[in-house]
Amino acid sequence: MYLTKEEEKILNGEYGWAYETSMKILVRLGDLFGATELIPIKSAHISGVSYKTVGESIDFLDALARAGGKAQVPSTLNPSSFDPEYLVGKVPRECREGQLRIISLYKEMRIEPTLTCTPYYLRKPRRGWHLAWSESSAVMYANSVLGAWTNREGGPSALAAALVGKTPNHGTHQAENRQPNVVVKVDSNLANETEFGALGIHVGKFLKERIPLFTGLTNYTEEYLKQLGAGMATTGMTSMFYYREPAPKRDLERLSVEARDIHNTIENLSTISEDPNLIFVGCPHCSLGEIHSIAEALEGRKVKGGTELWVCTSKHVKGKAESYVKIIEKAGGHVLCDTCPIVAWMKNLGTETVMTNSAKAAYYAPSYNEVGVTLAPLRQCINAACRR
């Protein structure tokens, strides 16, 4: 890989261990993927925040922060394992302290504690910007809906890119690697976010790293596309998709998806049929529009006793949604920011059964959280949450 004089200096440790180590990571990964140079990035988004997953292996973050590592570009953080109002008092002290320590180490490195998986609602990257983002659902959204350019980074490589302000130039940073290589014809009028998410889960399994171009998608909103990308990234290694371009004339492999496939996927993701303890909306974190829809559906209704309703979003979006938040809370729901049940200690908080409108959350809940799950669209989730 070709390095500038300045980059060589960083690699040789002239700016300290934190930058040297970050540069080593970028250069070695660049070599591995056949990159020939580093390119500047506009922002980094970093996963590896929840104490539940990172746990006690925070030694490395501690070492980087002590060595004076600071982000060189605007950098944001993925969700943590509790919110600052509702769940914070319910987690054991040790977990609370561990989580706060992780966040404060990132803050020392000048990484904003945004604690959201939808950093694009906070600052929308422009078309053509190069980014180093981890969190696969955000990578999908950035590449496919916003037209920014990012590889699917892991937590450590996104952190290294934040500290150096650059990323190796390979993969989706190069136009020739952003071409679709399979056409997916959808023979079904997908009606809601859950069906879009299920489509993602279904095709992700076949795609591996290939980039799909969907034909036949109608009635999509940006929120539905967010679910599609999140689902696809859950079961596959894809980092982008096309949804409004015409199928190219080139001879490409073709797949087709029928209504039956979507149906089966939703059925297979549901592991229980009994009434859930927890209804969860907000994987990935809700947009302002989604919070609006939830408030509308809840207006004048009450969440049943013995049932919890969690709406997860970022501090940023919650701050803009004050009137909707009031309606949701008046109905007995909770609008939680900075977290989501998947990365929280759901089971220890008394949850055994969950209903969600997110195919990604439904995919992870039984294994990561050992809870039973039902996957159903928002209307049905709200009806299950409320007294009749």
Partner 1 sequence: MTLRKRESLKVTVLKGRPIVPGHCRGLALVSTKPISFLGGVDSNSGLITERDHDLKGKSVKGRILCFPHGHGSTVGSYVLYSLAKKGLGPKAIVNQTADPVVVVGAIIANIPMIDQVDIQQITTGDDVEVDCSKGLIKIMKEK
Binding site for partner 1 (CB under 8 A): 21, 24-25, 28-29, 32, 47-48, 53-61, 63, 134, 153-157, 160
Write the burial class of residue 164 (CB in 10 Å: 0-12 exposed, 13-18 middle, 19+ buried).
buried
In this structure, the strands spanning 149-152 and 182-187 are unpaired
User: What CA–CA distance (Å, rounded) separates 158 from 255?
Assistant: 33
Q: Which is nearer to partner 1, 155 or 284 (CB)?
A: 155
- Identify the residue whose tokens are 């989580």: 99
DSSP secondary structure letters along 48-62:
---HHHHTT--HHHH
Nearby residues of 76 by Cβ (< 8 Å), 6 or more positions away: 43, 44, 45, 46, 111, 112, 114, 116, 119, 122, 123
What is the token pair recorded at 5?
């004089």
Q: Which is nearer to partner 1, 173 or 318 (CB)?
A: 173
Shortest distance (Å) from residue 212 CB to partner 1: 23
Q: Which is nearer to partner 1, 48 or 276 (CB)?
A: 48
Q: Which is nearer to partner 1, 25 or 312 (CB)?
A: 25
- Cα 49-53-55 angle, rounded to 5 deg: 85
Q: Which is nearer to partner 1, 133 or 214 (CB)?
A: 133
Query: How far are the Cα atoms of 137, 268, 286 from residue 289, in angstroms, in the given order?
Result: 18, 29, 8
Shortest distance (Å) from residue 339 CB to partner 1: 17
R_g of the chain computed on alpha carbons: 21
Q: Which is nearer to partner 1, 36 or 256 (CB)?
A: 36
Q: Which is nearer to partner 1, 156 or 282 (CB)?
A: 156
Instruction: Give the helix/strand (H/E) hosting 37.
Output: none
User: What CA–CA distance (Å, rounded) separates 131 from 36?
Assistant: 17
Closest of 329, 328, 341 to residue 87, by C-alpha: 341
Shortest distance (Å) from residue 378 CB to partner 1: 29
Shortest distance (Å) from residue 159 CB to partner 1: 10
Shortest distance (Å) from residue 160 CB to partner 1: 8
Q: How many CB atoms lie within 10 A of CB 350?
A: 10
Shortest distance (Å) from residue 353 CB to partner 1: 23
Shortest distance (Å) from residue 364 CB to partner 1: 12
Q: Which is nearer to partner 1, 57 or 273 (CB)?
A: 57
Shortest distance (Å) from residue 296 CB to partner 1: 37
